[in-house]
Amino acid sequence: MATKKRAAPAKSPRSKSVPLVKAREPERDYSHRALIDKLGVKAGQTIAVVGVDDAAFLDELAARVPSFYTGIPQDPADLIFYAVEDRSDLPELKPLAARITKTGAIWAVYPKGQGHIRETDVINAAKAVGLVDNKVCKFSETHTALRLCIPVAKR
């Protein structure tokens, strides 16, 4: 008599290990931070203010950095706040770019929602002088600030 082979016990299908997806961190909320913090101003930095006359900003700045240049700085600056009221102010970015430190930046402060000066105008002018934009910030109810810096590859 022939013996029957027993069927091997059924194997459970291999469970493929599904990689755990790390939960995405929630977006950062900067709305509660002071303007001076959003702009990255730290005590001890060399700061210049060129044409920006917002009283609230200047008060906050003076509280954080008591001594800052008004006008184009003589020494290289960590941050330059530059008022851009229309396209005719954009050529001034070139000499200002020469006055920032390698890790410094120019904050171009321009009017919101105006046809005579737009964000793309500022970005294009910055690129023309070798700078890139890497941050935007609500400066006031009427103005926006765009951070312009030297690209990392050129530092």
Instruction: Tell me the per-residue pLDDT of 64-85, one tens digit each, with 9 for 90 and over.
Output: 999 999 999 989 999 999 999 9
Looking at residue 4, its pLDDT comes to 56
pLDDT band at 32 (very low <50, low <70, confident <90, very high): confident
Q: DSSP string covering 81-101, please?
A: EEE--SGGGGGGHHHHHTTEE
pLDDT band at 7 (very low <50, low <70, confident <90, very high): low
CATH homologous superfamily for the domain 35-154? Vaccinia Virus protein VP39 (3.40.50.150)
Instruction: Tell me the per-residue pLDDT of 95-104, one tens digit each, with 9 for 90 and over.
Output: 999 999 999 9
In what order do the strands lie in the sheet containing 77-83?
Answer: 69-70, 47-50, 77-83, 100-111, 143-149, 132-138
Between 133 and 31, residue with greater pLDDT? 133
Residue 153 token pair: 């590859």
Instruction: Tell me the per-residue pLDDT of 113-155, one tens digit each, with 9 for 90 and over.
Output: 999 999 999 999 999 999 999 999 999 999 999 999 999 999 8
Q: Which amino acid, residue 64? A: R
Q: Half-sphere exposure (CA, 13 Å, Cβ side) for 52?
A: 31
Alpha helices in the chain (DSSP H): 35-38, 55-64, 93-97, 119-128
Domain boundaries, the chain: 35-154
